[in-house]
Amino acid sequence: MNPNLQTIEALDDTYVLHTYARSKVAFIRGQNATLYDTQGQDYIDFGAGIAVCSVGHANPRLAKVIADQAQNLLHTSNLYYIEPQARLAQKLIELYRQDSDFTDPMRAFFCNSGAEANECAIKIARLFGEKEGRYKIITLESSFHGRTIASLKATGQDKMHQHFGPYPDGFVRAKDIDDIIHCVDSQTCGVLIELIQGEGGISPMDKKKIQKLASELKARNILLMVDEVQSGIYRSGEIFASKLYGINPDIISTAKGLAGGVPIGAVITTLTDIFQAGDHGSTFGGNFLSAAAGIETLEILREIHESGALTHTIESFHQELDNLLQTFPHLFNHKVGIGLMCGLSAKNETLQKDIITAALKHRVLVLKSGKGVVRLLPALTISQEEIKEGFSRLHNALNTIQA
Ligand SMILES: Cc1ncc(COP(=O)(O)O)c(C=O)c1O
């Protein structure tokens, strides 16, 4: 018998710390971009667990790799060599370098989440600048880099810094890309940015400005760190959005979609010799389970990228978004985003909230981002039928909303 929503809710309420404003639904199974709730009702999932379920729910290839790995070995610790970890590092770096003339050596570090990947990036930058007394890291207004104390301080949203202080020193806030260079001083060691701010409204940065910034930072020997926790792993259409922008950052952090739902975080960097044994580490990071899941996830995504299937999915998805925008001009300003990290900017925050609630009622899951954006981050394997069905439900949902 399926668990009952009220029972789950009561247990959660009693025993789980109240850090989430949960919607009143519990899912118990999934199939690609479709989820099923406790009553067996289907939902089209345009959120993919906030960009995590990159190869869809219950992907048979990923499920088999995970099951096989679990029957063999899950974890030994980083005290010993871990073959899938080494192969995942190779695959991630080779896919990043593929079809580009960038051949600099790179190495990877594995952890368990986006915030941890950014912590690693911050530690690399601090170590890089240490001898010259450079420790400051510039981050952007409206950015989001995680919930640990350092990644929270790096996050450029004042409302998130009301508690938990004192925070570590050395984080400098720039208003926008143009302002970054004005914030540089003799103590700056790095700049940490998202190319498409995930929580800050899904608005992609300007490509020319990013390229100019990358070369200015290089000239000043300041590290460019790109947070691709959300935009990475083919969500933009390329393995990393950095490729679309034509830049080669010193450090890329990633997480979410990398192992299709198994917790993982990663950093890849050109500073191949920055750490000595003991400088950094993680008990779970890159263990057999997450690394094996990461390799299979990347392989599935590489295949749909190379076959052109991903491009086709992105095109259909954007066509549907354009239709929605044309049909409901009184609700939306414009389309936002790149690839399958996209959405529509609602006229105001009340509408944003109403749209997300109506969508849930019509059994299609969408997310919020920034002040007014309805964010869509579907599985990269979403089918044409799921796209059609999801947008048809969204149409019905939007028809119920009074502007
Ligand atoms: C750009 C970006 N960086 C960092 C994080 C934090 O990742 P995690 O929740 O896995 O720690 C997120 C999560 O939404 C993110 O979107």
Residue 306 alpha carbon to ligand 1 centre in Å? 27
Residue 255 alpha carbon to ligand 1 centre in Å? 8
pLDDT value, residue 122:
98
- Nearest atom in ligand 1 to 116's CA: 11
pLDDT in tens, 311-320: 999 999 999 9
pLDDT in tens, 190-221: 999 999 999 999 989 999 999 999 999 999 99
Q: Is the pLDDT of residue 403 over 80?
A: no
Residue 71 alpha carbon to ligand 1 centre in Å? 31
Residue 116 alpha carbon to ligand 1 centre in Å? 9
Burial class (CB in 10 A: 0-12, 13-18, 19+), 164: exposed
- Nearest atom in ligand 1 to 265's CA: 10
Pocket around ligand 1 at a 6 A CB cut-off: 113-115, 118, 144-146, 194, 198-199, 227, 229-230, 255
Q: How confident is residue 2, by pLDDT bands cut at 50, 70 and 90? A: confident
Residue 139 alpha carbon to ligand 1 centre in Å? 14
- Nearest atom in ligand 1 to 256's CA: 10
Question: Whose alpha carbon is nearest atom 7 of ligand 1?
Answer: 114
Instruction: Say how far apart CA 297 and CA 352 lie, in whole Å.
Output: 32
Residue 230 alpha carbon to ligand 1 centre in Å? 7
> Residue 367: which residues within 8 A CB-CB, separation 6 or more?
46, 47, 50, 343, 356, 374, 375, 376, 377
* CA distance to 5, 6, 85, 269, 357, per residue, from 24 (Å): 8, 9, 38, 41, 11
* Region 353-363 average pLDDT: 98
pLDDT in tens, 121-175: 999 999 999 999 999 999 999 999 999 999 999 999 999 999 999 999 999 999 9
pLDDT value, residue 311:
98
Q: Is the pLDDT of residue 3 over 90?
A: no
pLDDT value, residue 232:
98
* Region 269-280 average pLDDT: 98
pLDDT in tens, 12-65: 999 999 999 999 999 999 999 999 999 999 999 999 999 999 999 999 999 999
* Region 250-276 average pLDDT: 98
pLDDT in tens, 292-306: 999 999 999 999 999
Sign of the torsion angle spanned by Cα atoms 186, 188, 189, 193: negative
pLDDT value, residue 104:
95
pLDDT value, residue 128:
98
Residue 256 alpha carbon to ligand 1 centre in Å? 8
> Which of 361, 310, 366 lies closest to 342 in space, CA to CA?
366
pLDDT value, residue 298:
99
* Region 246-274 average pLDDT: 98
Q: How confident is residue 368, by pLDDT bands cut at 50, 70 and 90? A: very high
Q: Is the pLDDT of residue 1 over 80?
A: no
Instruction: Say if CB 297 and CB 258 are below 8 A apart.
Output: yes
> Among 19, 54, 120, 145, which is best to mutate for testing ligand 1, by the most ligand atoms less than 8 A from CB?
145
pLDDT in tens, 78-109: 999 999 999 999 999 999 999 999 999 999 99
* Percent of the chain clearing pLDDT 70 (strictly above): 100
pLDDT in tens, 227-257: 999 999 999 999 999 999 999 999 999 999 9
pLDDT value, residue 402:
84
Helices (H) and strands (E) in the chain, counts: 13, 15
> 64-271 has which fold?
Aspartate Aminotransferase; domain 2 (3.40.640)
Sheet containing strand 34-37, strands side by side: 27-31, 34-37, 42-45, 364-365
> Among 230, 264, 338, 373, which is best to mutate for testing ligand 1, by the most ligand atoms less than 8 A from CB?
230
Domain boundaries, the chain: 64-271, 296-327
- Nearest atom in ligand 1 to 148's CA: 11
Residue 7 alpha carbon to ligand 1 centre in Å? 30
Instruction: Say if CB 321 and CB 344 are below 8 A apart.
Output: yes
pLDDT value, residue 280:
98
Instruction: Say how far apart CA 289 and CA 76 lie, in whole Å.
Output: 10
- Nearest atom in ligand 1 to 143's CA: 1
